[in-house]
A = this chain, B = another copy of it.
C-alpha cells in the first residue's frame, strides 16, 4: 500500500464516519416526534390516548425502515469503493441533507394522516422519498460513471446493484402521484417499500459473495 492509497483510505473512512453519524442521529431523532399522550386521568384514557397515536407509530416505523435501508445501501456502496473524489462528497452531502430532513415529513404524516389535509401530507412524504431516491442515484451514478472509484473486480456487483437501484425513483414517483388521489394508497405504498427493502436489503445477495 503506497502513501497515496493510505491517504485515500483515510478519506473514505472519515466520510463514512461522518455519514454514519448523520444516519444514526436522524434515525434516533425520529422518536422525539412520538409524543406521550397528555393529561390522561385513567387507565382507559391513557390506553385510548396511546391507541390514538397509531399514525405516529406507523410513520415512525416507515421512516426508521427508510433510513435504515438508506444506511444499508450507503454502507454497501462504500464496501465497493476504493476511493472517493470531490463530486462524490458533494452528492454524498446532498444525500445526507435529505436523509436528515426525514423527521419533518414524518411528523407531518403523523399529525395530518387522519385529517382533511392528509393528501398534502402524503404528497410531501412521498415527494421527499423521491428526493432521497434521486440523491442516492446522484451518489451511485457518479461512482458508476467513474469506475476507478470502485475496487477492482466489482463490475458484476455494481451492475447487479444498478439494476435494483434504478427502480427507487420510479417507485417514489408513483407514490407521489398516488397522493393526489388517496393519502392511504400513497402512504401504504411508502410503507410497503420501506419494509420490503428492509427485508430484501438484508436477505438479498450480498456483494461480499462476489469478491
- Count how many chain A residues have C-beta atoms less than 8 Å from C-beta atoms of the other chain: 76
Complexed CA–CA distance, A97 and B3 (Å): 33
Complexed CA–CA distance, A26 and B100 (Å): 11
Q: Is A90 an interface residue (CB 8 A)?
A: yes
* B-chain residues with CB within 8 Å of residue A181 when the two chains form the complex: none
- Find A36's partner among B31, B71, B96, B107 (CB 8 Å cutoff): B107
Name the prevailing secondary structure of the A interface residues. Answer: helix
* B-chain residues with CB within 8 Å of residue A22 when the two chains form the complex: 24, 27-28
Q: Is A141 an interface residue (CB 8 A)?
A: no
Complexed CA–CA distance, A131 and B100 (Å): 25
- B18 engages A20 (CB within 8 Å): yes
- A87 engages B202 (CB within 8 Å): yes
Known: A7-B79, A64-B97. 4 other contacts (CB 8 A): A22-B27, A31-B104, A64-B100, A86-B202
Q: Is A182 an interface residue (CB 8 A)?
A: no
